[in-house]
Amino acid sequence: MKILINRDLLFFNLNNISRALSTKPPMPVLTGIKIEARGNAVYLTASNNEISIQTVIKDKKRLQIEEDGIVVVPGKYFIEIVKKIEAKEIDISTFENNVVKIVADRSLFSLNAYDKDDYPIISFNDSDVAITMDVLNLKQLIKKTTFAASLSESRVILTGISFATEGPKMEVVATDSYRLAKKFMVFEKEYPSIRAIIPSRSLDELHRIMDAPDENVEIHFSPLKVLFKYKNVLFQSRLIDGKYPDTSNLIPTEFHLSVKFNKNELIAAIERASLFTTIDSTNIVKMKVNSDKTVEISSTNNEIGAVKEELVPLECSDPLNFEIAFSAKYFLDALRVFDSNEVSIHFTGEIKPFVITGFYDVNLTQLILPVRIS
Amino acid sequence: MKILINRDLLFFNLNNISRALSTKPPMPVLTGIKIEARGNAVYLTASNNEISIQTVIKDKKRLQIEEDGIVVVPGKYFIEIVKKIEAKEIDISTFENNVVKIVADRSLFSLNAYDKDDYPIISFNDSDVAITMDVLNLKQLIKKTTFAASLSESRVILTGISFATEGPKMEVVATDSYRLAKKFMVFEKEYPSIRAIIPSRSLDELHRIMDAPDENVEIHFSPLKVLFKYKNVLFQSRLIDGKYPDTSNLIPTEFHLSVKFNKNELIAAIERASLFTTIDSTNIVKMKVNSDKTVEISSTNNEIGAVKEELVPLECSDPLNFEIAFSAKYFLDALRVFDSNEVSIHFTGEIKPFVITGFYDVNLTQLILPVRIS
């Protein structure tokens, strides 16, 4: 293999596939990046068995292939080298004994490559039906749900995000059993029924790669994996096996009390009210709605002290005394993904899950389980 | 005590004294900040026994003292509270049972204070003779030397920076015995002889506080401590006891070979040449001066590969073959503190310490010990 490639072009594409490199992969060769020069294109591939990413570089002006070939270079060092090169052009060529030489201006790097036959065969296959949506919508679906997925491997299925289609509607749900985030979107056409659980980590990495909001993404669901096609990137993730719990009955539909707040005021008040709660990591604050329609948010820590925040909500449906306690972290996580300036909290009881909605956040529901207080 | 104070004014001053707070102080009360309202001023004090900082706030417009008094508040939480307050004004008052109430708009914090009698008495005393210099000069002295001090407590004296005056000249030296940084400055008048070793950590914290380059700093040396007076800040550090090693004979004065480089080109070449050396943490690169006056910088790692960088120096005193090996980290640390665009490396032998100087870096010498290579 021998190629001449523009430094910035190579670095940009390396950055994208680096999302699939891990420091402790299941096989040593997966710390490597596979570079394949074939025809008029260079294919860069990285994989950690959970995520596999391939980018295809075709650029007549900034890429020149002098000899086809395949090489698997140590990923971390190859990226470091390209990052530190200031020259415009990089010359990459393979030699006997599996050595790759990288020449840029007056720098010469010799890298020991992996045996290319050890690299697993990774197929990036289309499915029969692909869902198409724009990057902006997909990024919103990801950003507004994945934070609510579980981090604990004790119930693996909850570390994933449920994607389910029904007619023209797709519903995306994440829950760690203490809170739940749900967003749906409606397509202009109907798709066949899909039930898939995508690891939340995979979606977070995909979110980082997609930087062009107006582009389209094709999503190909297969029984064991999902493939996202974005610009010159193929991003593939394994799916989590199993049946996602039915969460449709968890979300209350009738409420006793709804209170509308300025979102930023509410966030600032909760942040202050929870300042002392991190020390015992319970992170619990109390919210009290008074019959005069003022709201108090408070917490107490015997060692350090107490905080009380008073808020005047924008609206309050009923003049009743109501008290509830919850995790400030979960509440803040949920509030922060709303685009609306005003958010409404809907309560059904002091020990019942409550729901957060925002006027401009169409099709988004955030649900939080309260904590029982003595 | 009862005061009304502008939030930004308080936060700025808290940030300055927070440099003396540590999470594991020798006494629990030293995690606290002492607030004293007396006369028309508020004194904020923090100390970790090594560094003590006091700021004096006198501001008729932004500070109102309603009742004198002293309170010691938990430092970390007090700073977090003030940081999170968005109100313009903060009302701080003490109550019975050692409780401090902090009121800002609709927020009310109750903080359990420390017993003020437990807080040690810290005296910030002037010495008979004070050295005065501007902030810019003092920051330069600190930045260009402290990085070369030792981090290991095995020879405590080398964790400090030596300050020594002789007539109108002050010499500042740091060394960890593998490298040495020396800068001196000449005053317009003569000062009495001073020999003091200041912990490098203290100087680094002082460096962070001083943000007004045109201000003057008064430095008061006492037998056991040094006091820096900067704006409304009193910054005091203990001194390290002992005699600093005599380094005057270490620095060679006659050289066999001098090579002048563009500094940024040299830094970039060393950074690339040392990319593979971090893995075995030896961090050793080789520099070879050829008789055709080209320079090669290289390193080899059996596992990963090899790098060779070629440089054409701006000047080279002698056309001789010369090879030397050294720590890339030490070399880069030293190069980065030079202001000059061009730096010169002066060699006396392949296993002798070498010296780096820069045309615009007056009175600055960086010395590095080479590594013996087989």
**Same-fold call for B130-238 versus B257-368:** no
B311 touches chain A (CB under 8 A): yes
Does pLDDT of B184 surpass 80? yes
Q: Which of A84, A266, A271 to mutate to test the interface with B (most CBs of B within 10 A)?
A: A84
Cβ atoms of B281 and B236 within 8 Å: the answer is no
- Name the token pair of B117: 């009698």
Q: Please tell me the predicted confidence (pLDDT) of residue A318.
A: 86
B328 touches chain A (CB under 8 A): no
- To which H or E segment does residue A333 belong? helix A328-336
The dihedral through the CA atoms of A73, A76, A81, A83 has a sign that is positive
Q: What percent of chain B has pLDDT over 90?
A: 92
Nearest alpha carbon to residue A90 among A77, A109, A72? A109
ipTM value: 0.91
Please spell the DSSP secondary structure of B41-71, one letter per residue: EEEEEEE-SSEEEEEEE--TTTEEEEE-EEE
- CB within 8 Å: A112 and B307: no
**B186-199 CB burial, b ≥16 within 10 A, e <16:** eeeeebeebebbbb
Mean pLDDT of B6-28: 94
**Distance (Å) from the alpha carbon of A275 to chain B's nearest alpha carbon:** 7
Q: Please tell me the predicted confidence (pLDDT) of residue A323.
A: 96
Q: Which residue of A has its CA nearest to B80?
A: A275
Which chain B residues are closer than 8 Å to A108 by Cβ?
Answer: 307-310
**Distance (Å) from the alpha carbon of A312 to chain B's nearest alpha carbon:** 10
Which chain A residues are closer than 8 Å to B110 by Cβ?
Answer: 305-307
Options 3.10.150.10, 3.40.50.150, 3.50.50.60, 3.40.50.720; CATH for A130-238 is 3.10.150.10
What residues of chain B, 247 to 286, have a C-beta less than 8 Å from chain A? 268-269, 271-272, 275-276
Which chain A residues are closer than 8 Å to B77 by Cβ?
Answer: 275-276, 304-305
- In single-letter form, the type of residue at position A6 comes to N
Residues B230-254 pLDDT 10s: 999 999 999 999 999 999 999 999 9
Which chain A residues are closer than 8 Å to B112 by Cβ?
Answer: 303-305
Q: What percent of chain A has pLDDT over 90?
A: 92
Cβ atoms of A39 and A131 within 8 Å: the answer is no
Neighbours of B15 (CB within 10 A): 15
A303 touches chain B (CB under 8 A): yes
- To which H or E segment does residue A138 belong? helix A135-143
Which chain B residues are closer than 8 Å to A84 by Cβ?
Answer: 268, 271-272, 275
Mean pLDDT of A359-365: 93
A2-118: what fold?
Answer: DNA Polymerase III; Chain A, domain 2 (3.10.150)
- Alpha-carbon gap, residue A115 to A77, rounded angstroms: 16
Confidence of residue A281 (pLDDT cuts 50, 70, 90): low
Confidence of residue B281 (pLDDT cuts 50, 70, 90): low
Which chain B residues are closer than 8 Å to A77 by Cβ?
Answer: 275-276, 304-305
Torsion angles phi and psi, residue A172, rounded to 5:
-120, 125
Q: In degrees, to the nearest 5, what angle opens at C-alpha A20 toward C-alphas A183 and A194?
A: 35
- Alpha-carbon gap, residue B10 to A78, rounded angstroms: 49
Residues B293-345 pLDDT 10s: 999 999 999 899 999 999 999 999 988 899 999 999 999 999 999 999 999 99
Q: Please tell me the predicted confidence (pLDDT) of residue B374.
A: 64
Confidence of residue A279 (pLDDT cuts 50, 70, 90): low
Report domain extents, chain A: 2-118, 130-238, 257-368
Q: Which residue of A has its CA nearest to B269?
A: A107
A110, A269, A304: residue with CB nearest B74: A304
A108, A272, A311: residue with CB nearest B308: A108
User: Which residues have a Cβ under 8 Å from the Cβ of B350 and sit 6 or more positions away?
Assistant: B322, B323, B324, B370
- Alpha-carbon gap, residue A310 to A93, rounded angstroms: 67
**Distance (Å) from the alpha carbon of B305 to chain A's nearest alpha carbon:** 4
Q: Which of B95, B106, B279, B298 to mutate to test the interface with A (most CBs of A within 10 A)?
A: B106
Cβ atoms of B372 and B282 within 8 Å: the answer is no
- Alpha-carbon gap, residue B142 to B362, rounded angstroms: 15
Q: Please tell me the predicted confidence (pLDDT) of residue B97.
A: 87
- Name the token pair of A295: 């709201």
User: Which residues have a Cβ under 8 Å from the Cβ of A211 and sit 6 or more positions away?
Assistant: none
DSSP-H helix ranges across chain B: 7-17, 75-84, 135-143, 200-209, 263-273, 328-336
B257-368: what fold?
Answer: Proliferating Cell Nuclear Antigen (3.70.10)
Instruction: Tell me chain A's radius of gyration from C-alpha atoms.
Output: 25
Q: Please tell me the predicted confidence (pLDDT) of residue B280.
A: 63
Does pLDDT of A374 surpass 70? no
Q: What percent of chain A has pLDDT over 70?
A: 99
- CB within 8 Å: B80 and A275: yes
Residue A127 CA: distances (Å) to CA of A145, A195, A224, A339, B46: 25, 14, 11, 34, 65
**A89-126 CB burial, b ≥16 within 10 A, e <16:** bbbbbbeeeeebbbbbeebbbbbbbbebeebeebeeee
Cβ atoms of A327 and A371 within 8 Å: the answer is yes
- In single-letter form, the type of residue at position B159 comes to T
- CB within 8 Å: A308 and B275: no
Does pLDDT of A341 surpass 90? yes
A99, A303, A311: residue with CB nearest B106: A311
Mean pLDDT of A83-106: 96
Which chain B residues are closer than 8 Å to A303 by Cβ?
Answer: 112
- In single-letter form, the type of residue at position A160 comes to G
Q: Please tell me the predicted confidence (pLDDT) of residue A22.
A: 84
- In single-letter form, the type of residue at position B10 comes to L
Exposure on the CB side of residue B371, measured as CA atoms within 13 A: 15
Q: Please tell me the predicted confidence (pLDDT) of residue A21.
A: 94
Cβ atoms of B259 and B313 within 8 Å: the answer is yes
- Alpha-carbon gap, residue B277 to B285, rounded angstroms: 8
Does pLDDT of A20 surpass 80? yes
- To which H or E segment does residue A77 belong? helix A75-84
Mean pLDDT of A154-161: 97
